[in-house]
Amino acid sequence: ITSVSQVYNDDANWFWVATQDNGAISINKNAALAGFKDSTTFSYRMNASTYSELFDRLIAVGNNSQIGYLDYANLQVADAWTPVANGFDPLANIKDVHADGSVIIAVADNGQICRSTNGTN
């Protein structure tokens, strides 16, 4: 694991999310040793992730304007991350993301800030 790791709680479960240099995102549920992994959806480093309680969705962001999400219902489905088209410069590296209610904010290293109010774009 070479980038950001974070913990999320949906009231009943704990999720450990690790974003990695090769674009893979690993999720472990309730400290289980076996994780759900995706290694094909993203081709660039994933820098950060967040959990939106309102949308019941994990959101990950990374280099070259890569944004994707995974709904709670699909956590056990292989390669279920959905890429999202967005308003960033295609070469922007998205460094951080935060969810608060219906608003999700992502910030890129070139100074761009993008906002979503529907949980995807």
Per the prediction, the chain carries an average pLDDT of: 78
pTM equals 0.78
Please tell me the least confidently modeled range out of 19-28, 59-68, 73-82: 73-82
Rg of the chain over all Cα atoms, to the nearest angstrom: 13
Task: Check residue 2 and report its DSSP letter.
Answer: -
Q: How far is CA 12 from the centre of its chain?
A: 20
3 state DSSP class of 85: coil
Q: Which pLDDT tens digit goes with each residue over 7-61?
A: 666 667 677 777 777 887 777 776 664 455 555 668 888 888 888 888 888 888 8
